[in-house]
Amino acid sequence: MSLAQFPLDTRNEFIARHIGPRDADIRAMLEMLGFDSLTAMIARVVPASIKGTSVLDLPAGQGEAEALAAIKAIAGKNLLFKSHIGQGYYPCHTPSPILRNLLENPAWYTAYTPYQPEISQGRLEALLNFQTLVSDLSGLPVANASLLDEGTAAAEAMTFCKRLSKNKASNAFFASRHCHPQTLDVLRTRAEPLGIEVVIGDEREIGDASAYFGALLQYPAADGDIFDYRALVERFHAANALVAVAADLLALTLLTPPGEFGADVALGSAQRFGVPLGFGGPHAAYFATRDSFKRDMPGRLVGVSIDRHGQPALRLAMQTREQHIRREKATSNICTAQVLLANIASMYAVYHGPQGLTRIARRVHQLTAVLADGLAQLGVSVEQQHFFDTLTLATGEQTAELHGKARAQRINLREVDANRLGLSLDETTTQADVEALWAIFANGQALPDFAALAASVASRLPAALLRQSAILSHPVFNRYHSETELMRYLRKLADKDLALDRSMIPLGSCTMKLNAASEMIPVTWAEFGALHPFAPAEQSAGYQELTTELEAMLCQATGYDAVSLQPNAGSQGEYAGLLAIRAYHQSRGDDQRDICLIPQSAHGTNPATASMVGMRVVVTACDARGNVDIADLKAKAEEHKDRLAAIMITYPSTHGVFEEGIREICEIIHANGGQVYIDGANMNAMVGLCAPGQFGGDVSHLNLHKTFCIPHGGGGPGVGPIGVKAHLAPFLPGHAQMARKQGAVSAAPFGSASILPITWMYIRMMGGDGLRRATQLAILNANYIARRLEEHYPVLYSGADGLVAHECILDLRPLKETSGISVDDVAKRLIDYGFHAPTMSFPVPGTLMIEPTESESKEELDRFCDAMIRIREEIRAVESGELDRDDNPLKNAPHTAQELVGEWPHRYSRELAVYPTASLVDGKYWPPVGRVDNVYGDRNLVCACPSIEAYQDA
Ligand SMILES: *Cc1c(COP(=O)(O)O)cnc(C)c1O
């Protein structure tokens, strides 16, 4: 048979791999909804006024193999020089079992933020380990479960000191000039809108301490010195100023921790605990403080509580500090943090243990001391008396030449200034590396004798600051040191959790779609992972190509003119976007514009962010159908027209509908002198159908960890780029390493650079048509669920034709009246059916918000709908009295395996409790704990690993 009759098959199979429903399913679903095509359905969902605003001029998608080859070629343009740049970023070894079983394992990276504690005990335990690690090393009792990077953690510390300092008269914050320069940049950006003056100076000459409400010091200092800050901290305290110390966690294994010399806050990066450099991120930052300050702590905090059976159980503690509850009065706007990276760091400590970590630190220090002694022999002047891993060399006129010599050997040193070079050693440094460094400075002299120097080298840590206290004595850091043990521990924790690798996670507003393996693979390539963020530009050509292309792709997807990839979460994108608006008004002499309108239904990050840029939040109403109340909005815009800065509005709305009035809303704001911020977290309903940059938005953030396939990681990492219209482009974030030097919002120029390949791959493989189809299917899947469930649970809001956008809200409030069953009970009962709960009580209390995404197949949607319908039947049984009002499977959900043994005290069967449908017998998910008591945990706050005795007592 001749093959010539068949045209060569060049189909791109990826689109159908990403999208769940098959063609026949799509036809059936459309039929149920009464449409004969996707186009016909979409025509009724997207309002005519904005339809067709999306151009999405992108080439056709490429298959997985082709796209991987293309990105491999791009990656190959990055040059991997040996990095001794330091400055907060250090090469390290990611232990292979952690790389394979955690970083590259969907059980860990596809999990959602652990708001549902019963299905999150594994990652909560890993985070509790992280908090314990940080607390132990920093010497401060309360540590959070990560912030975004060291720079923003320092900025959080600054506003934390402002809130808590008793020196209310001062608006000045002292920052040592020995802090990392990128930290100082972020501090300056964050301080300015709040009217805080950042005074950068030498900590040995602070003058009158009472001029300051707080101070930031670096330990060890950026140039390598280790200063004794004890007297200084006392001076600041005597003047009622608080002191934050940015400290290197590895150095703290050997040095007196900040908590022991009086610091009020310790913060920094956990990057060198096993997380690749990744051209600047993502990495976890840490933040620790005193117990008395815990209620003002930014970020998420894991705490120990008990479950329904009195057994210990973990959950997120003290959420009343956070933006989703406190809105503009929140301690911070942080939502997505760096959970996956915090977990890598915590497992690095679990694997190495206290002795292992100390050994690594001591070795780094020894090599640095040998290096310094050798350099001295070669006549090089080393500035530090005391140091840990970093030296500054007074190289005078030879600086540029030496720098060039190093580059020729593929070695990067740190350029301190015209007369000095800096260098840092790390876990990966070897004898050969030290000798290569000597060779750069040898200038024809014989190289020092490494063995002889190593045999005689003395510690260069200051004797008065040697660490006396023990670290990591908890069993968890002393048990899993063989690879077999660690592998099983990681597996055990992962098995406790429900992530996307088990079932759909139908979270409204969070878009838990497929994170395809081909998208993830490039992330752990050394060509992306091993680059220092401040490597010379000529070494990062691959990253430049990737980011330039990605920016162009995102402009296509949003209809904006320019994109900044710097913000490393949605909250940070909001911040960068509002800063751009503020700077734009100021550039026109409109300094007084400081009012931000925010509809009632907004995500908590919106008001929290507005207050961080010094704007005043004016809340506008929503009408009975969930739409922005345009009359109220218009009245408020006009009332404040002289001071109107912006509106922050989510589209499609947080109520899951494409509001007809969006163009009119944008026009009202513009007519009154304001700018329109469209929160792009719901972009999954728009890509390829309509474009915020074309229907009235001036700026939007995108959540690449929602719409564009970066996995949630159990609560981070994320990327929150912003798109802007041309008039705002001059006000996008800058960075010392970029053309625009000012206005950094993240420590690294491209924030979380090493996960950008995920989004690049997604867009490259889907192409314009694939992306548009994904949006159509996301909307179809949501409407299918809404239609299947509406006779069982009323759908709260819908558009003109009874259709929803990409998510829908089910109203459970009436059930509370008739049965006493709450939205919590339904959410927890879903766990017995093997599902993660939808979003609870946001944006409307007493409701569930469901977003299936395009990636879920019809089978999975049906399985979920069937579970919801069965649960409704259970509620009906409660209503009718067939099930007891208090002792029923909903109130007692979720059910653990353990409670099945022994006496069964309930008025319903064991079968109904754990196998409510026969199909669950195959592949049943067993929650490790019963329902968790939140109130108990907040009243008895424990946020580090409890002692074994405490566990036994509980
Ligand atoms: C997720 C979300 C945000 C915040 O994004 P993070 O990346 O979590 O900081 C803001 N607005 C809306 C509507 C969201 O859904």
Distance (Å, rounded) from C-alpha 890 to C-alpha 810?
17
φ, ψ at 401 (rounded to 5°): -65, -45
Distance (Å, rounded) from C-alpha 845 to C-alpha 823?
9
Give the atom of ligand 1 at the shortest distance from the alpha carbon of 706. 1
Do residues 393 and 380 touch, judged by C-beta distance below 8 A? yes
Report CA torsion sign: 539, 540, 542, 545.
negative
Atom 14 (ligand 1) nearest CA: 681
Distance 605 CA to ligand 1 centre (A): 7
Nearest to 165 by CA among 244, 267, 246, 257: 244
Check residue 331 and give its pLDDT.
86
Distance (Å, rounded) from C-alpha 41 to C-alpha 689?
12
Atom 3 (ligand 1) nearest CA: 570
For residue 434, CA distances in Å to 374, 400, 461, 764 come to 9, 20, 19, 42
Instruction: Name 288's bridge partners.
Output: 143, 266
The preferred substitution site among 112, 679, 682, 759 for testing ligand 1, maximizing ligand atoms within 8 Å of CB, is 679
The preferred substitution site among 338, 603, 699 for testing ligand 1, maximizing ligand atoms within 8 Å of CB, is 603
Atom 8 (ligand 1) nearest CA: 336
Check residue 951 and give its pLDDT.
52
Distance 603 CA to ligand 1 centre (A): 7
Domain boundaries defined on the chain: 15-75+540-811
Which tokens sit at 744?
């950094």
Distance 571 CA to ligand 1 centre (A): 6
Check residue 323 and give its pLDDT.
83
Distance 656 CA to ligand 1 centre (A): 15
Instruction: Indicate the DSSP class of residue 61.
Output: P
Within 820-857, where are the H helices? 823-832
Q: Which residues of 566-583 are buried (b: 16+ CB within 10 A; e: fewer)?
A: bbbbbbbbbbbbbbbbbb
Atom 6 (ligand 1) nearest CA: 570
Distance 475 CA to ligand 1 centre (A): 37
Distance 113 CA to ligand 1 centre (A): 12
Do residues 693 and 560 touch, judged by C-beta distance below 8 A? yes
Give the atom of ligand 1 at the shortest distance from the alpha carbon of 650. 13
The CATH code of domain 15-75+540-811 reads: 3.40.640.10
Distance (Å, rounded) from C-alpha 533 to C-alpha 527?
13
Distance (Å, rounded) from C-alpha 404 to C-alpha 416?
14
397 Cβ neighbours under 8 A, 6+ residues apart: 419
φ, ψ at 497 (rounded to 5°): -110, 155
The preferred substitution site among 146, 509, 712 for testing ligand 1, maximizing ligand atoms within 8 Å of CB, is 509
Write the single-letter amino acid at 210.
Answer: S
Distance 144 CA to ligand 1 centre (A): 20
Distance 687 CA to ligand 1 centre (A): 17
The preferred substitution site among 112, 324, 335 for testing ligand 1, maximizing ligand atoms within 8 Å of CB, is 335
Distance 556 CA to ligand 1 centre (A): 21
List ligand 1's pocket residues with C-beta within 6 A: 335-336, 509, 569-571, 603, 605, 650, 654, 679, 681, 703, 718, 720
Distance 681 CA to ligand 1 centre (A): 6
Give the atom of ligand 1 at the shortest distance from the alpha carbon of 573. 9
Check residue 954 and give its pLDDT.
47
Distance 509 CA to ligand 1 centre (A): 8
> How does pLDDT run across 444-474, given as a tens digit for each residue?
999 999 999 999 999 999 999 999 999 999 9
Distance 570 CA to ligand 1 centre (A): 5
Within 192-310, where are the H helices? 230-238
Which tokens sit at 544?
């430049």
Q: Say how far residue 136 (Cα) sits from the centre of its chain.
A: 24
Q: What angle do CA 803, 807, 810 make, to 5 degrees?
A: 85
Return left, alpha or beta for 269; rule: phi > 0 is left, psi -120 to 50 is alpha, else beta: beta
> How does pLDDT run across 771-793, given as a tens digit for each residue?
999 999 999 999 999 999 999 99
**Cβ neighbours around 478 below 10 Å, total:** 13
Instruction: Name 174's bridge partners.
Output: 199, 215
CB-count burial class (<10 Å; 0-12, 13-18, 19+) for 440:
buried
CB-count burial class (<10 Å; 0-12, 13-18, 19+) for 371:
buried
Atom 5 (ligand 1) nearest CA: 570
Give the atom of ligand 1 at the shortest distance from the alpha carbon of 574. 10
Give the atom of ligand 1 at the shortest distance from the alpha carbon of 605. 10
Instruction: Name 60's bridge partners.
Output: 767
Distance 618 CA to ligand 1 centre (A): 20
Q: Say how far residue 596 (Cα) sits from the centre of its chain.
A: 25
Do residues 274 and 348 touch, judged by C-beta distance below 8 A? yes
Q: Which residues of the chain have pLDDT under 50?
A: 954
The preferred substitution site among 336, 701, 806 for testing ligand 1, maximizing ligand atoms within 8 Å of CB, is 336
764 Cβ neighbours under 8 A, 6+ residues apart: 61, 62, 67, 70, 71
Give the atom of ligand 1 at the shortest distance from the alpha carbon of 703. 7
Distance 679 CA to ligand 1 centre (A): 8
Distance 26 CA to ligand 1 centre (A): 30
Q: What angle do CA 367, 368, 370 make, to 5 degrees?
A: 65
The preferred substitution site among 149, 571, 708, 807 for testing ligand 1, maximizing ligand atoms within 8 Å of CB, is 571
